[in-house]
C-alpha cells in the first residue's frame, strides 16, 4: 500500500493539533461542556494521537537522516559496498533512493576512471620514451619508468615534488622555463654524463598541456645515442669514400681527355664516347664536391668566417653570375630589393652558396619564357630572402622532404636535369649554421618560392 506523501501527513497532523486546541478552548469557555468528562476525553485523545503521529514521523525522519548521513560518509571515505535500501515511497524514501543512485554512480565512474588510469599507466610504462608532466608550479604530476631510467630519477621520488629536486639537469630546467615564458613547444638536445654509465645523447621536447582542467607542461625525452653514432659513422663514411674517389675520377677524366684530343684517333664515335665520359666525370666530380661539403658542414669541420654582408651587393653578384644561364633558356632573372639597405651576419662564401643553389634550382625547373625573381625584406630582427620562379612547382606531399639529402621530386627527370638532390640539403644545413631557417611554398603548375631567414646585424 502506498504511503501518503510526507507533506500530506504534516498537514493532517497540524489540522488535528489545531482542532484539539480549538476544542479545548471552546470547552474551557463553555461551563456546560467543561463539566463533561467525555468532552475532555475526546480532546485528550485527539491531542495524544497527534503527538504520537508527530513523534513517529520525527523518529522516522531522524532515522532516515542518520542512515543517509552514514551512506554519504561511506562514499566520501571511499567505501561503496554499503547499500542503502529505501524505507518508503514518500519524500524520505525518494531521498534514500537518490543517495543510493549517487553511491552506485560514483562507484561505477570511479571504477571506469581507475581502469582507464591503469591502462594509461601500463602504456606509459611500456614506452621507450621518457614522459613527465609538471604543473604550472613545476611540481611533478606524472613520470613513467623510462623517464626514471633515462634521467636517473631516484626511486623514492614522489609525485608532487618540485621538478628541480627530482631532475637535476640544467638543460631540462632551461627548456621548461623557455616553454613557460614563450608559451610554445621547445625542443633541445643535450649530453648526459652519469657515474658508471657511458655518455648518452638525449633529445627533449617540452610543450604545454592541452587541457582546460589543469595548467602545466608535458616533457618527452628520447635516447638518440645510437642514432647519433650511426649518423657520425655515415658522415665519416661519405667523407672518406668521396675523398678516395677523387683520385681515380681525376685519372678517368685525364684518360678521356687524352682519348678525345689524340690526333691519331680520328674515329668520331670514339671522340663522342670520350666526350660523354668527360661529361659524366664532371657530373660525378660535382657530386663528390657536394657530398664532401655537406659532410663537413654536418660534422662541424667546415670553417666559416662570419662577417657583415650587404644583401644588395651579394644578391647582385649572384644574379649577374646566373643571368647568362637564364637568358639561354629565355628566362627573365631579376631582383626586387627593399627601400632600405639590410645587412646580415654570415659567412660570405656560404651565403653565396645558399643563394646560388636556390637560383640554379629555380632556373633548372622553369621552362622557356618563365621568370625568376630574387627579393628580400626585413622581418622581426631578421631578413627573409626569397627566390620565386614560375616553374613546374612541387606537390604538397613532396614539399616537406625537398631539403632531405638525395631526395628528388621528379625522379624520372633527374638524369635529364642533372643534380643528385644535395643542393637543398646543403642550403638547409648551412642556413642552420648561420642560426637561420628555410622553407618552401609551392603550387604544382604555378611555381615555387624558396626562402630563408637570417638574423640582421
DSSP string, 53-72: HHHHHHHHHHHHHHHHHHHH
What values do phi and psi take at 12, rounded to 5?
A: -65, -45
Q: Which of 34-43, 96-105, 271-280, 429-438 has the lowest mean pLDDT?
A: 34-43
Mean pLDDT of 238-252: 80
321 grid coordinates: 653570375
Tell me the C-alpha distance between 372 and 366, whole Å: 8
pLDDT of 187 above 90: no
Q: What is the CATH number of domain 307-455?
A: 3.30.565.10
The fourth-level CATH superfamily of domain 127-223 is PAS domain (3.30.450.20)
- Provide the pLDDT for residue 448: 93
pLDDT of residue 157: 74
Judge contact between 57 and 6, C-beta under 8 A: yes
Q: What is the model's pLDDT at position 1? A: 40
Does the structure show a pLDDT above 90 at 333?
Answer: yes
Domain boundaries, the chain: 6-110, 127-223, 229-299, 307-455
Looking at residue 2, its pLDDT comes to: 45
Lowest mean pLDDT among 265-279, 313-327, 385-399: 265-279
Mean predicted confidence (pLDDT) in 144-152: 85
| CATH class of residue range 229-299 | mainly alpha
Cα-Cα-Cα-Cα dihedral of 200, 303, 239, 437, to 10°? 70
Neighbours of 296 (CB within 10 A): 15
What's the order of all strands across the beta sheet hosting 371-378?
332-336, 371-378, 382-389, 447-455, 437-443
pLDDT above 60 for 322: yes
Highest mean pLDDT among 42-51, 55-64, 174-183, 239-248: 174-183
Q: Is the pLDDT of residue 201 over 70?
A: yes
Nearest alpha-carbon partner for 393 in 322, 443, 343: 443
Residue 290 to residue 425: CA distance in whole angstroms: 10
More confident residue, 265 or 257: 257
Report d(CA 389, CA 373) in Å as an integer.
Answer: 6
Instruction: Determine the pLDDT at residue 401.
Output: 87
Most trustworthy range by pLDDT among 41-45, 249-253, 341-345, 447-451: 447-451
The residue count for the chain? 457
pTM for the model stands at 0.54
Q: Is the pLDDT of residue 453 over 60?
A: yes
* Structure confidence by residue, pLDDT tens digits, 67-112: 777 777 777 777 767 777 666 666 667 777 777 777 778 877 887 8
Mean pLDDT for all residues in the chain: 79
User: At 42, is the pLDDT very low, low, confident or very high (cuts 50, 70, 90)?
Assistant: low
C-alpha 112: how far from chain center: 28
Amino acid at each position: 500500500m502506498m504511503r501518503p506523501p510526507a507533506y500530506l501527513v504534516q498537514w493532517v497532523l497540524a489540522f488535528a493539533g489545531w482542532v484539539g486546541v480549538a476544542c479545548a478552548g471552546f470547552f474551557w469557555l463553555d461551563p456546560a461542556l467543561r463539566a463533561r468528562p467525555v468532552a475532555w476525553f475526546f480532546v485528550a485523545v485527539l491531542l495524544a494521537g497527534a503527538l504520537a503521529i508527530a513523534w513517529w514521523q520525527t523518529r522516522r525522519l531522524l532515522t532516515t537522516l542518520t542512515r543517509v548521513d552514514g551512506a554519504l560518509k561511506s562514499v566520501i571515505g571511499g567505501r561503496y559496498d554499503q547499500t542503502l535500501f529505501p524505507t518508503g515511497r514518500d519524500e524520505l524514501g525518494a531521498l534514500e533512493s537518490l543517495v543510493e543512485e549517487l553511491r552506485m554512480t560514483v562507484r561505477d565512474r570511479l571504477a571506469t576512471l581507475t581502469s582507464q588510469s591503469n591502462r594509461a599507466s601500463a602504456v606509459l610504462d611500456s614506452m621507450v620514451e621518457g614522459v613527465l608532466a609538471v604543473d604550472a608550479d613545476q611540481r611533478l604530476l606524472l613520470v613513467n619508468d623510462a623517464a626514471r631510467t633515462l634521467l636517473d630519477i631516484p626511486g623514492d621520488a614522489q609525485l608532487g615534488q618540485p621538478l628541480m629536486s627530482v631532475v637535476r639537469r640544467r638543460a631540462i630546467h632551461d627548456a621548461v622555463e623557455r616553454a613557460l615564458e614563450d608559451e610554445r613547444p621547445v625542443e633541445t638536445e643535450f649530453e648526459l654524463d652519469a657515474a658508471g654509465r657511458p655518455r648518452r645523447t638525449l633529445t627533449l621536447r617540452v610543450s604545454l598541456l592541452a587541457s582546460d582542467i589543469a595548467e602545466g607542461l608535458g616533457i618527452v625525452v628520447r635516447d638518440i645515442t645510437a642514432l647519433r653514432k650511426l649518423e657520425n659513422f655515415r658522415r665519416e663514411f661519405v667523407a672518406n669514400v668521396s675523398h678516395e674517389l677523387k683520385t681515380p675520377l681525376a685519372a678517368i677524366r685525364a684518360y678521356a681527355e687524352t682519348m678525345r684530343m689524340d690526333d691519331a684517333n680520328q674515329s668520331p664515335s670514339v671522340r663522342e664516347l670520350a666526350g660523354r665520359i668527360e661529361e659524366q666525370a664532371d657530373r660525378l666530380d660535382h657530386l663528390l664536391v657536394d657530398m664532401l661539403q655537406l659532410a663537413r658542414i654536418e660534422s662541424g669541420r667546415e670553417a666559416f668566417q662570419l662577417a657583415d654582408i650587404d644583401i644588395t651587393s651579394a644578391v647582385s653578384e649572384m644574379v649577374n653570375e646566373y643571368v647568362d644561364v637564364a637568358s639561354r633558356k629565355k628566362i627573365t632573372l631579376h631582383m626586387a630589393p627593399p627601400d632600405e639597405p639590410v645587412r646580415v651576419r654570415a659567412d660570405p662564401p656560404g651565403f653565396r652558396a645558399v643563394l646560388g643553389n636556390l637560383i640554379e634550382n629555380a632556373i633548372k625547373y622553369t621552362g622557356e619564357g618563365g621568370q625568376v625573381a630574387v627579393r628580400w625584406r626585413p622581418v622581426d630582427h631578421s631578413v627573409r630572402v626569397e627566390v620565386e620562379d614560375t616553374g613546374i612547382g612541387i606537390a604538397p606531399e613532396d614539399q616537406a622532404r625537398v631539403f632531405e639529402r638525395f631526395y628528388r621530386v621528379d625522379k624520372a627527370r633527374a638524369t635529364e636535369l642533372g643534380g643528385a638532390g644535395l643542393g637543398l640539403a646543403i642550403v638547409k644545413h648551412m642556413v642552420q649554421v648561420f642560426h637561420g631557417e628555410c622553407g618552401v611554398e609551392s603550387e604544382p603548375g604555378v611555381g615555387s618560392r624558396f626562402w630563408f631567414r637570417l638574423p640582421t646585424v
